[in-house]
Amino acid sequence: MASVSRLVRFAVLFAILGPLVSFISASPTHGKHPSPKYPFASPKCRRPLIRKDWRALSTSEKKSYIAAVQCLGNKKKARSISGIPGLKTRYDDFQGIHSVQTPNIHWVGHFMLWHRYYIATYEKTLREVCGYRGAQPYWNWTVDNNSGKDMSQWPIFNNQTGFGGNGVYVDGENPFGIPERSGGGCVPKGPFAWPKWSVNLGPGDSLAYNPRCLTRDFSRPMMKWATPALVNWVLDVNKYSDFAYRLENVPVFTVPNVHGAGHFGVGGALGALGDVYASPGDPIFYLHHTTMDRMLWTWQKRNLPARLYDVGGPIVPFDYTGPNITLSFKVGLGKLAPNVTLAQIMNLQGDILCYDYE
Ligand SMILES: *[C@@H]1O[C@H](CO)[C@@H](O)[C@H](O)[C@H]1NC(C)=O
Ligand SMILES: *[C@@H]1O[C@H](CO)[C@@H](O)[C@H](O)[C@H]1NC(C)=O
Ligand SMILES: *[C@@H]1O[C@H](CO)[C@@H](O)[C@H](O)[C@H]1NC(C)=O
Ligand SMILES: *[C@@H]1O[C@H](CO)[C@@H](O)[C@H](O)[C@H]1NC(C)=O
Ligand SMILES: *[C@@H]1O[C@H](CO)[C@@H](O)[C@H](O)[C@H]1NC(C)=O
Q: What is the pLDDT along the chain (358 residues), one digit of tens a residue?
A: 333 333 333 233 333 333 333 333 333 333 334 444 577 899 999 999 999 999 999 999 999 999 999 999 997 788 878 789 999 999 999 999 999 999 999 999 999 999 999 999 999 999 999 999 999 999 999 999 999 899 999 999 999 999 999 999 999 999 989 999 999 999 999 999 999 999 999 999 999 999 999 999 999 999 998 899 999 999 999 999 999 999 988 888 888 888 999 999 999 999 999 999 999 999 999 999 999 999 999 999 999 999 999 999 999 999 999 999 999 999 999 999 999 999 999 999 999 999 999 9
DSSP string, 199-233: B-S-STT--S---B--B----HHHHTT--HHHHHH
This prediction has a pTM of 0.89
Is ligand 2 within 6 A of the CB of residue 246? no
User: Atom 3 (ligand 2): residue with closest C-alpha?
Assistant: 224
Give the atom of ligand 2 at the shortest distance from the alpha carbon of 146.
Answer: 14
> Residue 112 C-alpha to ligand 1 middle, in angstroms?
18
Is ligand 3 within 6 A of the CB of residue 189? yes
Could you list the residue range(s) of the whole structural domain that residue 142 is in?
A: 37-357
User: Atom 7 (ligand 4): residue with closest C-alpha?
Assistant: 321
* b/e code 193-222 from CB counts within 10 Å (16+ = b): eeeebbbbbbeeeebeeeeebbbbbbbeeb
Give the atom of ligand 4 at the shortest distance from the alpha carbon of 324.
Answer: 1
Whether residue 1 lies inside any domain: the answer is no
Is ligand 5 within 6 A of the CB of residue 147? no
> Residue 325 C-alpha to ligand 4 middle, in angstroms?
10
**338, 346, 288, 337: which is closest to 312 by C-alpha?**
346
pLDDT of residue 254: 84
Whether residue 19 lies inside any domain: the answer is no
**295, 310, 236: which is closest to 261 by C-alpha?**
295
Give the atom of ligand 3 at the shortest distance from the alpha carbon of 164.
Answer: 1
Whether residue 203 lies inside any domain: the answer is yes
Whether residue 18 lies inside any domain: the answer is no
DSSP string, 302-350: TTHHHHTS---SBSSTT-TTSPBP-TT-EE-BTBTS--EEGGGGS-TBS
Whether residue 5 lies inside any domain: the answer is no
Whether residue 10 lies inside any domain: the answer is no
Per the structure, how many domains does the chain have? 1
Q: What is the CATH number of the domain that holds 149?
A: 1.10.1280.10
pLDDT of residue 21: 33
| Most ligand 3 atoms within 8 A of CB, residue of 151, 158, 159 to mutate | 159
Whether residue 17 lies inside any domain: the answer is no
Is ligand 4 within 6 A of the CB of residue 238? no
Whether residue 335 lies inside any domain: the answer is yes
